[in-house]
Structure 1
Amino acid sequence: MRAQPVPDWLLPPPQGFRADDLDGLPGLPPHTELIDGSLILAAPQSILHSLVIDLLVSGLRAGAAEGHRVRREISVVLDERQRPEPDAIVVRDVPGVEASRTAYPAEAVVLAVEVVSPESERRDRERKPQLYAKARIEHFWRVELKEGKPVVYVYELDEATEAYGLTGIHHDRLKVGVPFPIDIDLTAADDM
């Protein structure tokens, strides 16, 4: 088998990639993230992963407070070297953020949701929560898929430590009061 040429966009500049670079790299695969100045290419997701995202996005939209929007799989600029793409986010309406943009600024994000998949376990469980907390995103949900069912770990930012504290683990029903009242039947993923 003959080696394939490496695309130019895959070779990082000496200082690493910057958040703005993601919009200008030709042929960049969808859902590419920037973590610590390095490109992270996403592996294909399972059907269950996609169904759980659909369930959470639908539930979040049903309860979204006025002035908030729910978005699926769009990146967030945390700083010049960090541009992850959460599975879902809740954002505040921010003047000047046009629909044509490809990322939200961190200050617009109220909640970041990551559904853990085998190829991204360490990033979803460790690195991304660190980055979201440092960017002062108030709420973070980590969703584990256990025996084909979602389990949602809910975290809230401790501003003094810039770290998340676990506020609940939800197996069959996700019912929380922040960032606004949310009630999602997690068993409904079976019916999707």
Structure 2
Amino acid sequence: MTTPPQGRATEDTWMFPPTEGWSFDQVKHLELPFDWELVDGVIATRGQTNVWHNEVRDGIAGALKAARTQPYRVLNEQCVIVDDRNVAKPDVIVYDPGNLNLLTTPCIPVSKLALVVEVVSPGSRRADRVSKPALFAGAKVPCYWRVELDRDGKLAVHEYWLNADTHSYIPAPMHPVHHDKLVTEVPFPVEIDLNALLEF
């Protein structure tokens, strides 16, 4: 006879984490009426997004899927296990599915990521500009894109590369910020018409 898991969060207790914080195993079964991430052992709600955010997210994911090379795959809104107490759900990821059973894997291990893309919305500015880059750089994800509207209402994509020595992101040397068109060679060659992403 097996002993049932102890200390699992419930729909009534998830907002009261233990001193060391919740682990993913303690919360992964929850069915909450909102989208959430696990941040330092605390369940954090993910804010509502608007139409332009979702159109841009899906447009970037579509362009990456069209350009991807083996072995990479592209997903949006997929949970990523950074560690036992940090489970994020980036807007778009590029990952290597090698040695993963995609039929049973609930979340992608952060070690499989080649690129994280976050589209900044009013409720995610600090996370997308500060805490998420630090989290993914610390986990050695090679590339990070931050996508946001500039003052002219046009898209700007800030491209970052991992500094392997400091485990922090640095602006891409040749093209730190993309306007009008994104052209890069990493994690694979891709060109994205940024203006077209806002034609809706």
Task: Give the alignment's TM-score, normalised by structure 1.
Answer: 0.91
Match of 2:48 among 23, 44, 49: 44
Match of 1:31 among 32, 35, 52: 35
- State whether residues 97 and 104 of structure 1, in contact with CA within 8 Å, keep that contact through their aligned partners in structure 2: no
Q: Report what 1:76 is aligned to.
A: 80
SS of aligned partner of 2:74:
strand
Which structure 1 residue ranges, 5 or more long, are not aligned?
A: 1-5
- State whether residues 110 and 138 of structure 1, in contact with CA within 8 Å, keep that contact through their aligned partners in structure 2: yes
Match of 1:118 among 115, 122, 132: 122
Post-superposition, which runs of at least 4 consecutive aligned residues in structure 1 deviate over 6 A?
A: none
Deviations 1:138-173 (A, max 9, x none): 000011123443210000001001000101101110
Match of 1:187 among 179, 192, 195: 195
Deviations 1:83-136 (A, max 9, x none): 111100000122133234321001111001111111111111001100101101
- State whether residues 115 and 144 of structure 1, in contact with CA within 8 Å, keep that contact through their aligned partners in structure 2: yes
Deviation at 1:12, TM superposition (A): 1.3
Deviation at 1:30, TM superposition (A): 4.6
CA RMSD of aligned residues (A): 1.5
- State whether residues 138 and 168 of structure 2, in contact with CA within 8 Å, keep that contact through their aligned partners in structure 1: yes
Q: Report what 1:17 is aligned to.
A: 22
1:105 is aligned to 2:109 = yes
Which structure 2 residue ranges, 5 or more long, are not aligned?
A: 1-10
Q: Report what 1:156 is aligned to.
A: 161
Aligned residues: 186
- State whether residues 149 and 189 of structure 1, in contact with CA within 8 Å, keep that contact through their aligned partners in structure 2: no
- State whether residues 56 and 198 of structure 2, in contact with CA within 8 Å, keep that contact through their aligned partners in structure 1: no
Letter of the 1:12 partner, please give it.
P
Greater per-residue helix proportion: 1
Q: Report what 1:165 is aligned to.
A: 170
- State whether residues 52 and 198 of structure 2, in contact with CA within 8 Å, keep that contact through their aligned partners in structure 1: no
Task: Calculate percent identity across the aligned residue pairs.
Answer: 37
Task: Give the alignment's TM-score, normalised by structure 2.
Answer: 0.87
Deviation at 1:24, TM superposition (A): 1.6
CA distance in 1, matches of 2:198, 2:84: 40
CA distance in 1, matches of 2:193, 2:100: 35
Q: Residues 101 and 22 (structure 1 numbering): CA distance in 2 closer, same or farther, change over 3 Å? A: farther
